[in-house]
A and B are shown apart, each in its own frame.
Chain A
Amino acid sequence: MQNGIFKSPIAFAQAPLKPINGIVNGMETAITMADKAIEASRYELLSICDVSALNRFGVKGPNAAEWLAAASLTLPEEKNSWTLQGKRELVLRLGSSEYLIEEPLNSQMVAQLNALPVNQSGVHKVIRNDASFIVSGKLATTLFSEVCAIDLSGDALEENRLVMTVIAGVSVTLLRQMLNGQSVYRIWCDGTFGPYLWKTLLGITEEHGGGAIGFSFYYEIN
Protein backbone atom coordinates (compact mmCIF):
# COMPACT_ATOMS: atom_id res chain seq x y z
CA MET A 1 0.00 0.00 0.00
CA GLN A 2 0.95 3.56 -0.25
CA ASN A 3 3.16 5.48 2.03
CA GLY A 4 3.45 9.25 1.81
CA ILE A 5 1.15 11.88 0.41
CA PHE A 6 0.43 11.96 -3.29
CA LYS A 7 -0.62 15.05 -5.17
CA SER A 8 -3.43 15.73 -7.54
CA PRO A 9 -2.05 15.89 -11.09
CA ILE A 10 -3.42 19.43 -11.17
CA ALA A 11 -1.68 20.54 -7.98
CA PHE A 12 1.14 22.56 -9.53
CA ALA A 13 -1.19 24.18 -12.03
CA GLN A 14 -3.41 25.27 -9.14
CA ALA A 15 -0.64 26.61 -6.97
CA PRO A 16 -0.90 30.19 -8.30
CA LEU A 17 -4.50 30.29 -7.05
CA LYS A 18 -3.20 29.67 -3.52
CA PRO A 19 -5.86 27.17 -2.59
CA ILE A 20 -6.37 25.72 0.87
CA ASN A 21 -5.25 22.15 0.38
CA GLY A 22 -6.33 19.06 2.21
CA ILE A 23 -5.93 15.34 1.94
CA VAL A 24 -8.58 13.38 0.09
CA ASN A 25 -8.07 9.64 -0.37
CA GLY A 26 -4.38 10.14 0.40
CA MET A 27 -4.04 12.80 -2.27
CA GLU A 28 -3.25 16.43 -1.63
CA THR A 29 -6.00 18.36 -3.30
CA ALA A 30 -7.46 21.89 -3.38
CA ILE A 31 -10.26 21.90 -0.79
CA THR A 32 -11.18 25.57 -0.96
CA MET A 33 -10.36 28.11 -3.65
CA ALA A 34 -12.08 31.18 -2.26
CA ASP A 35 -14.57 32.08 0.43
CA LYS A 36 -17.96 30.40 0.40
CA ALA A 37 -19.86 33.29 -1.14
CA ILE A 38 -17.41 33.71 -4.01
CA GLU A 39 -17.34 29.99 -4.69
CA ALA A 40 -21.16 29.92 -4.61
CA SER A 41 -21.42 32.74 -7.16
CA ARG A 42 -18.83 31.06 -9.41
CA TYR A 43 -20.80 27.83 -9.08
CA GLU A 44 -23.94 29.57 -10.32
CA LEU A 45 -22.24 31.41 -13.17
CA LEU A 46 -19.36 29.20 -14.31
CA SER A 47 -16.98 27.16 -12.22
CA ILE A 48 -14.43 24.41 -12.47
CA CYS A 49 -13.42 22.06 -9.68
CA ASP A 50 -10.64 19.47 -9.51
CA VAL A 51 -11.97 16.13 -8.26
CA SER A 52 -9.07 14.01 -9.46
CA ALA A 53 -8.71 12.72 -5.91
CA LEU A 54 -11.88 10.62 -6.07
CA ASN A 55 -11.16 6.89 -6.11
CA ARG A 56 -11.53 5.12 -9.43
CA PHE A 57 -11.41 1.61 -10.75
CA GLY A 58 -11.03 0.56 -14.36
CA VAL A 59 -11.66 -2.77 -16.03
CA LYS A 60 -11.58 -3.77 -19.65
CA GLY A 61 -12.07 -6.83 -21.79
CA PRO A 62 -14.73 -8.94 -23.45
CA ASN A 63 -15.83 -10.44 -20.11
CA ALA A 64 -15.51 -7.31 -18.01
CA ALA A 65 -19.28 -6.78 -17.90
CA GLU A 66 -19.88 -10.32 -16.67
CA TRP A 67 -17.24 -9.91 -13.97
CA LEU A 68 -18.69 -6.61 -12.76
CA ALA A 69 -22.20 -8.03 -12.79
CA ALA A 70 -20.98 -10.89 -10.64
CA ALA A 71 -19.74 -8.25 -8.21
CA SER A 72 -23.36 -7.03 -8.04
CA LEU A 73 -22.92 -3.84 -10.03
CA THR A 74 -25.73 -2.53 -12.16
CA LEU A 75 -24.21 -1.79 -15.52
CA PRO A 76 -25.26 0.66 -18.23
CA GLU A 77 -26.96 -1.22 -21.03
CA GLU A 78 -25.96 1.07 -23.85
CA LYS A 79 -22.46 1.71 -25.14
CA ASN A 80 -21.15 5.12 -24.09
CA SER A 81 -23.59 5.59 -21.25
CA TRP A 82 -23.44 5.62 -17.47
CA THR A 83 -25.42 4.70 -14.41
CA LEU A 84 -25.40 5.36 -10.70
CA GLN A 85 -25.12 2.71 -8.00
CA GLY A 86 -26.83 2.77 -4.62
CA LYS A 87 -24.20 4.82 -2.86
CA ARG A 88 -24.00 7.09 -5.90
CA GLU A 89 -20.96 5.47 -7.42
CA LEU A 90 -20.71 6.27 -11.10
CA VAL A 91 -20.32 3.41 -13.54
CA LEU A 92 -19.26 4.56 -16.99
CA ARG A 93 -19.34 2.24 -19.96
CA LEU A 94 -16.61 3.48 -22.30
CA GLY A 95 -17.32 2.14 -25.76
CA SER A 96 -18.48 -1.44 -25.57
CA SER A 97 -16.17 -3.38 -23.26
CA GLU A 98 -14.44 -0.96 -20.92
CA TYR A 99 -15.79 0.34 -17.61
CA LEU A 100 -14.78 3.09 -15.25
CA ILE A 101 -16.14 3.18 -11.72
CA GLU A 102 -15.77 6.32 -9.65
CA GLU A 103 -16.91 6.49 -6.06
CA PRO A 104 -17.85 9.48 -3.94
CA LEU A 105 -16.31 9.80 -0.49
CA ASN A 106 -17.29 7.18 2.08
CA SER A 107 -17.75 4.37 -0.39
CA GLN A 108 -15.84 1.10 -0.35
CA MET A 109 -16.63 -0.03 -3.84
CA VAL A 110 -13.25 0.72 -5.41
CA ALA A 111 -11.39 -1.00 -2.59
CA GLN A 112 -13.64 -4.03 -2.89
CA LEU A 113 -13.19 -4.23 -6.65
CA ASN A 114 -9.44 -3.83 -6.29
CA ALA A 115 -9.40 -6.69 -3.84
CA LEU A 116 -11.62 -8.91 -5.95
CA PRO A 117 -9.55 -11.46 -7.87
CA VAL A 118 -9.89 -12.04 -11.59
CA ASN A 119 -10.23 -15.73 -12.25
CA GLN A 120 -11.31 -15.68 -15.85
CA SER A 121 -9.77 -14.53 -19.08
CA GLY A 122 -11.07 -11.52 -20.91
CA VAL A 123 -11.17 -9.37 -17.77
CA HIS A 124 -8.35 -6.91 -17.23
CA LYS A 125 -8.02 -4.36 -14.51
CA VAL A 126 -6.87 -0.98 -15.79
CA ILE A 127 -4.67 1.33 -13.78
CA ARG A 128 -6.33 4.75 -13.93
CA ASN A 129 -4.71 8.13 -13.68
CA ASP A 130 -7.43 10.58 -14.43
CA ALA A 131 -7.51 14.27 -14.03
CA SER A 132 -11.17 14.90 -13.38
CA PHE A 133 -13.14 18.10 -13.24
CA ILE A 134 -16.64 19.26 -12.46
CA VAL A 135 -17.88 22.16 -14.53
CA SER A 136 -20.99 23.97 -13.33
CA GLY A 137 -22.96 27.10 -14.00
CA LYS A 138 -25.32 28.65 -16.46
CA LEU A 139 -22.47 29.54 -18.82
CA ALA A 140 -21.15 25.98 -18.99
CA THR A 141 -22.39 25.46 -22.55
CA THR A 142 -20.74 28.75 -23.53
CA LEU A 143 -17.46 27.43 -22.16
CA PHE A 144 -17.84 24.17 -24.07
CA SER A 145 -18.77 26.01 -27.27
CA GLU A 146 -15.29 27.54 -27.16
CA VAL A 147 -13.39 24.30 -26.62
CA CYS A 148 -15.48 21.50 -28.06
CA ALA A 149 -16.82 20.97 -31.57
CA ILE A 150 -19.79 18.80 -30.73
CA ASP A 151 -23.23 20.01 -29.78
CA LEU A 152 -23.65 19.58 -26.04
CA SER A 153 -26.80 21.67 -25.88
CA GLY A 154 -28.59 19.07 -27.99
CA ASP A 155 -29.30 15.53 -26.92
CA ALA A 156 -25.70 14.29 -26.92
CA LEU A 157 -25.68 13.97 -23.13
CA GLU A 158 -29.35 13.19 -22.56
CA GLU A 159 -30.52 9.91 -21.06
CA ASN A 160 -27.28 9.15 -19.28
CA ARG A 161 -25.22 9.23 -22.46
CA LEU A 162 -21.55 10.03 -22.25
CA VAL A 163 -19.28 11.19 -25.02
CA MET A 164 -15.65 10.57 -25.71
CA THR A 165 -14.54 13.65 -27.58
CA VAL A 166 -11.85 16.29 -27.76
CA ILE A 167 -11.84 19.37 -25.56
CA ALA A 168 -9.22 22.04 -26.21
CA GLY A 169 -7.21 19.46 -28.11
CA VAL A 170 -7.31 16.76 -25.42
CA SER A 171 -9.22 13.48 -25.52
CA VAL A 172 -11.79 13.40 -22.74
CA THR A 173 -14.80 11.56 -21.46
CA LEU A 174 -17.69 13.87 -20.73
CA LEU A 175 -21.09 13.49 -19.14
CA ARG A 176 -23.74 15.53 -17.41
CA GLN A 177 -25.17 14.46 -14.07
CA MET A 178 -27.21 15.78 -11.19
CA LEU A 179 -24.94 16.43 -8.24
CA ASN A 180 -26.26 17.91 -5.02
CA GLY A 181 -29.45 18.76 -6.86
CA GLN A 182 -27.80 20.65 -9.72
CA SER A 183 -26.92 19.62 -13.22
CA VAL A 184 -23.14 19.66 -13.71
CA TYR A 185 -20.70 18.45 -16.34
CA ARG A 186 -18.04 15.90 -15.53
CA ILE A 187 -14.79 15.61 -17.45
CA TRP A 188 -12.10 12.96 -17.25
CA CYS A 189 -8.81 13.07 -19.12
CA ASP A 190 -5.39 11.49 -18.89
CA GLY A 191 -3.76 13.02 -15.82
CA THR A 192 -0.69 14.11 -17.76
CA PHE A 193 -2.91 16.45 -19.77
CA GLY A 194 -4.64 17.61 -16.59
CA PRO A 195 -2.58 20.72 -15.82
CA TYR A 196 -2.91 21.94 -19.39
CA LEU A 197 -6.64 21.31 -19.54
CA TRP A 198 -7.17 22.89 -16.13
CA LYS A 199 -5.30 26.03 -17.11
CA THR A 200 -7.08 26.28 -20.44
CA LEU A 201 -10.57 25.77 -19.06
CA LEU A 202 -9.93 27.98 -16.07
CA GLY A 203 -8.61 30.75 -18.33
CA ILE A 204 -11.80 30.79 -20.38
CA THR A 205 -13.91 30.39 -17.24
CA GLU A 206 -12.31 33.48 -15.78
CA GLU A 207 -12.83 35.43 -19.00
CA HIS A 208 -16.53 34.81 -18.50
CA GLY A 209 -16.45 35.95 -14.88
CA GLY A 210 -16.38 32.50 -13.31
CA GLY A 211 -13.57 30.75 -11.49
CA ALA A 212 -12.23 27.75 -9.63
CA ILE A 213 -13.97 26.18 -6.68
CA GLY A 214 -12.59 23.68 -4.20
CA PHE A 215 -13.28 20.00 -3.68
CA SER A 216 -15.24 20.60 -0.49
CA PHE A 217 -17.83 22.57 -2.40
CA TYR A 218 -19.19 19.25 -3.66
CA TYR A 219 -17.94 16.73 -1.13
CA GLU A 220 -17.98 17.12 2.59
CA ILE A 221 -14.57 16.36 4.02
CA ASN A 222 -14.57 14.66 7.41
Chain B
Amino acid sequence: MKLLECPINGIRPISEFTYGGEYRNMPNPDTCSDSEWAAYVHYRNGAPGLKKEWWYHTPSGTWFIAERNTMTDKVNRTYLLGQEEAK
Protein backbone atom coordinates (compact mmCIF):
# COMPACT_ATOMS: atom_id res chain seq x y z
CA MET B 1 0.00 0.00 0.00
CA LYS B 2 1.55 3.24 -1.14
CA LEU B 3 -1.52 5.45 -1.34
CA LEU B 4 -4.35 6.08 1.07
CA GLU B 5 -7.50 8.14 0.77
CA CYS B 6 -8.12 10.63 3.55
CA PRO B 7 -11.86 11.32 3.72
CA ILE B 8 -11.17 15.06 3.90
CA ASN B 9 -8.03 15.51 1.80
CA GLY B 10 -8.31 12.78 -0.80
CA ILE B 11 -5.74 10.28 -2.07
CA ARG B 12 -2.26 10.89 -0.76
CA PRO B 13 1.03 8.99 -0.54
CA ILE B 14 1.32 6.88 2.56
CA SER B 15 4.23 9.04 3.74
CA GLU B 16 1.70 11.75 4.63
CA PHE B 17 0.03 9.45 7.15
CA THR B 18 0.71 8.02 10.56
CA TYR B 19 -0.70 4.65 11.52
CA GLY B 20 -2.70 4.74 14.71
CA GLY B 21 -3.24 1.06 15.44
CA GLU B 22 -6.30 -1.09 15.15
CA TYR B 23 -9.60 0.44 16.18
CA ARG B 24 -10.82 -1.60 19.11
CA ASN B 25 -13.71 -1.25 21.45
CA MET B 26 -12.65 -0.57 25.00
CA PRO B 27 -14.38 -2.80 27.53
CA ASN B 28 -16.18 -0.95 30.30
CA PRO B 29 -13.37 -0.42 32.81
CA ASP B 30 -15.81 -0.39 35.72
CA THR B 31 -17.34 -3.74 35.01
CA CYS B 32 -14.75 -5.79 33.17
CA SER B 33 -12.47 -8.24 34.96
CA ASP B 34 -8.75 -7.67 35.32
CA SER B 35 -8.00 -10.34 32.77
CA GLU B 36 -10.48 -8.89 30.26
CA TRP B 37 -8.81 -5.52 30.68
CA ALA B 38 -5.31 -6.98 30.38
CA ALA B 39 -6.37 -8.76 27.20
CA TYR B 40 -7.66 -5.49 25.78
CA VAL B 41 -4.47 -3.61 26.63
CA HIS B 42 -1.90 -6.19 25.67
CA TYR B 43 -3.31 -8.57 23.10
CA ARG B 44 -3.48 -7.79 19.41
CA ASN B 45 -5.08 -9.92 16.78
CA GLY B 46 -2.37 -10.46 14.18
CA ALA B 47 -4.37 -12.80 11.97
CA PRO B 48 -4.70 -11.32 8.49
CA GLY B 49 -8.12 -10.15 7.44
CA LEU B 50 -10.31 -7.08 7.31
CA LYS B 51 -9.30 -4.64 10.06
CA LYS B 52 -10.61 -1.29 11.16
CA GLU B 53 -7.60 0.92 11.66
CA TRP B 54 -6.86 4.42 12.84
CA TRP B 55 -4.92 6.55 10.38
CA TYR B 56 -3.84 10.16 10.74
CA HIS B 57 -3.22 12.58 7.89
CA THR B 58 -0.34 14.58 9.29
CA PRO B 59 -0.39 17.80 7.22
CA SER B 60 -4.03 18.44 8.05
CA GLY B 61 -4.26 16.70 11.43
CA THR B 62 -7.13 14.44 10.41
CA TRP B 63 -7.86 11.17 12.19
CA PHE B 64 -9.99 8.71 10.32
CA ILE B 65 -10.81 5.04 10.07
CA ALA B 66 -9.62 2.82 7.24
CA GLU B 67 -11.06 -0.61 6.65
CA ARG B 68 -8.07 -2.49 5.39
CA ASN B 69 -7.64 -6.10 4.45
CA THR B 70 -4.24 -6.92 5.92
CA MET B 71 -4.06 -10.03 3.78
CA THR B 72 -4.32 -8.22 0.45
CA ASP B 73 -3.30 -4.77 1.74
CA LYS B 74 -6.41 -3.36 0.07
CA VAL B 75 -8.31 -0.54 1.73
CA ASN B 76 -12.03 -1.02 1.25
CA ARG B 77 -13.11 2.39 2.51
CA THR B 78 -12.12 5.24 4.78
CA TYR B 79 -14.34 7.51 6.84
CA LEU B 80 -14.32 9.83 9.81
CA LEU B 81 -15.12 8.11 13.08
CA GLY B 82 -18.87 7.94 13.49
CA GLN B 83 -19.54 8.93 9.89
CA GLU B 84 -19.42 5.41 8.58
CA GLU B 85 -22.98 5.58 7.28
CA ALA B 86 -22.53 8.86 5.43
CA LYS B 87 -19.78 7.42 3.32
Question: Would you call A25 an interface residue if the criterion is a C-beta within 8 Å of the partner chain's C-beta atoms?
Answer: no
Q: Which of B43-87 contact A (CB under 8 A)?
A: 57-62
Question: Would you call A166 an interface residue if the criterion is a C-beta within 8 Å of the partner chain's C-beta atoms?
Answer: yes
A80-B8, A95-B8 known; A150 vs B62 contact (CB < 8 Å): no
Q: Which of B12-37 contact A (CB under 8 A)?
A: 12-13, 15-16
Question: Would you call A164 an interface residue if the criterion is a C-beta within 8 Å of the partner chain's C-beta atoms?
Answer: yes
Contact between A166 and B16 (Cβ–Cβ < 8 Å)?
yes
| A172 contact set on B, CB distance < 8 A | 59
Chain A 81-108 against B: per-residue CB contact (8 Å), 1 yes, 0 no? 0000000000000111000000000000
Question: Would you call A79 an interface residue if the criterion is a C-beta within 8 Å of the partner chain's C-beta atoms?
Answer: yes
Question: Would you call A163 an interface residue if the criterion is a C-beta within 8 Å of the partner chain's C-beta atoms?
Answer: yes
Interface size on B, residues (CB 8 A): 12
Contact residue among B9, B15, B60, B61 (Cβ-Cβ distance under 8 Å from A149) = B15
Closest CB of chain A to B13's CB: distance in Å?
A: 4
Closest Cβ neighbor of A151 among chain B residues: B11
Question: Would you call A145 an interface residue if the criterion is a C-beta within 8 Å of the partner chain's C-beta atoms?
Answer: no
Q: Which of A127-165 contact B (CB under 8 A)?
A: 149-150, 163-165
Please provide the 10 A-B residue pairs with the shortest distance between their CB atoms, ordered closest to farther. A171-B59, A164-B60, A149-B13, A164-B59, A166-B16, A165-B59, A95-B60, A166-B59, A95-B8, A171-B58
